[in-house]
Amino acid sequence: MRKHWIDNLRWVTVLLVLLYHVVYFYNNKGVFGGIGGFGEYPECPQYQDVLMYILYPWFMPLLFILAGISARYALDKHSAGEWFKARTRKLLVPGTIGLFVFHWMVGYFNTAVAARTGAFDGMPAVAKYIMMAISGTGPLWFIQVLWLLCLVLLLVRAIDRKSKFWAWCGKANIVVIILLGVLFWLGEQTLIKNPRPESPDGLLNLYKPLFYLVPFLLGYFVFSHDEVQEKVGKAWIPLMACAVVAGGVLIGTTFGQDNTSPQYLGSPLNCLYGWLMCLAMMGWFQASFDRTGALSGYMTRSSYGIYIVHYLPVAALGYMMKTYTKLPPVAMYLILAVAVFTLSPLLYEIIRRIPLVRWCVLGEKRRKQ
């Protein structure tokens, strides 16, 4: 039986990613990316940036947990070879070929500031195109890392060939489940605290493959068990209450800092809040949203594609409004929010109807009915 709560939690989290990027694009807290805020902190506090502090500690780890759960279910039905082939088409193709077919347009706006300073003057058109394609990776880091973790999972499964470790993990009680947050904290310690300029350190901190391996494997080994899901579902209210308290203290004491820095992410309070929110959200949806309907059915089918294409409206419209208009900030936020939640599904619906482009950008073999 399909677990609709997992589908619902996944697409709701994807929508939160869209909302996050609207705020992130204009942040003034030093978070890498976007185009910058409307003044310097603390003179211009931009309290709307609090959304980044609320979401960033947990929404991407949560997506990796859900991916790990889904991987376990899929591998119960398909051979490892079939599963990995499907994962490669769905993840690696959009994360590589898709850059050159679609996401170079995102890269155009990501590199627009450098282009205006003359950084690309004299550069061959082919080189500019390649740079724009690579710069257009944006949110696709998620599917690139996920593909790599799927490869790692095949190696891990070879060690636990008879699923003995997986079965043992299913015996975890709620105390053990909460204490698994220590692994969450240890994963954050793999970030490079003082990245060296002109080195891959910054890229490793951006992708965080060793950190995201932790929630992915926890999803596969621990949270794919019905018993574990039920235990978290029964405890979701106290888990959510504790998460809110931890998050309130975290945000109240750190607002204004770069909440994506290795030091911030590796702090015990950030890890506590992030882990409790992952558990609370899973528990809440398991207990309250294990059902489907017309909207949830559509979003279950479409949220992945919407995620893939959503950053183009953010980058294009967000850049043009701040560069070429004198709109008040509140108008820019509202316009950008409406645009990303309407244009992203529209882009997805157009692309999925174009056979070759659909394969390159979405990793889909044929049009879904």
Domains of the chain: which residue ranges? 4-362
For residue range 255-299, what is the model confidence (pLDDT) as tens digits?
Answer: 999 999 999 999 999 999 999 999 999 999 999 999 999 999 999
- Mind giving me the DSSP string for 196-257? PTTSTHHHHHHH-HHHHHHHHHHHHHTTTSHHHHHHHHHTHHHHHHHHHHHHHHHHHHHBTB
The answer for 40, left when phi > 0, alpha when psi is -120 to 50, beta otherwise, is: beta
**pLDDT on residue 44:** 97
Rg of the chain (C-alpha set):
21
For residue range 177-215, what is the model confidence (pLDDT) as tens digits?
Answer: 999 999 999 999 999 999 998 889 989 999 999 999 999
DSSP secondary-structure letter at 120? Answer: T
**pLDDT on residue 340:** 98
**pLDDT on residue 123:** 87
**pLDDT on residue 80:** 97
Question: Is pLDDT at 366 greater than 90 in this prediction?
Answer: no
Distance CA 56, CA 59 (A): 6
Average pLDDT on 224-235 reads: 98
Distance CA 52, CA 21 (A): 9
Q: Which two tokens stand for residue 269?
A: 């309070």
What is the band of 17 on the pLDDT scale with cuts at 50, 70, 90? very high
Looking at the chain, the whole-number percentage of residues with pLDDT higher than 70 is: 98
What is the band of 128 on the pLDDT scale with cuts at 50, 70, 90? very high
Distance CA 186, CA 237 (A): 26
Nearest to 246 by CA among 210, 219, 223, 280: 280
Average pLDDT on 157-182 reads: 97
**pLDDT on residue 34:** 87
Distance CA 203, CA 317 (A): 26
**pLDDT on residue 295:** 97
Distance CA 5, CA 292 (A): 8
What is the band of 369 on the pLDDT scale with cuts at 50, 70, 90? very low
E strand or H helix at 44: none
Model pTM above 0.85: yes
- Mind giving me the DSSP string for 274-298? HHHHHHHHHHHHHHH-----HHHHH
For residue range 29-64, what is the model confidence (pLDDT) as tens digits?
Answer: 999 888 999 999 999 999 999 999 999 999 999 999
The answer for 39, left when phi > 0, alpha when psi is -120 to 50, beta otherwise, is: left
Q: Which two tokens stand for residue 10?
A: 């996944």
**pLDDT on residue 260:** 96
Average pLDDT on 229-255 reads: 98
For residue range 319-331, what is the model confidence (pLDDT) as tens digits?
Answer: 999 999 999 999 9
Query: What are the residues facing 255 on neighbouring strands?
Result: 257
**pLDDT on residue 113:** 66
More confident residue, 171 or 122: 171
Question: Is pLDDT at 98 greater than 80 in this prediction?
Answer: yes
**pLDDT on residue 197:** 84
**pLDDT on residue 198:** 81
For residue range 334-355, what is the model confidence (pLDDT) as tens digits?
Answer: 999 999 999 999 999 999 999 9
Distance CA 79, CA 64 (A): 21
Average pLDDT on 122-126 reads: 90
**pLDDT on residue 352:** 97
For residue range 58-80, what is the model confidence (pLDDT) as tens digits?
Answer: 999 999 999 999 999 999 999 99
Expressed in percent and rounded to 5, the helix, strand and coil fractions of the chain are: 75, 0, 25
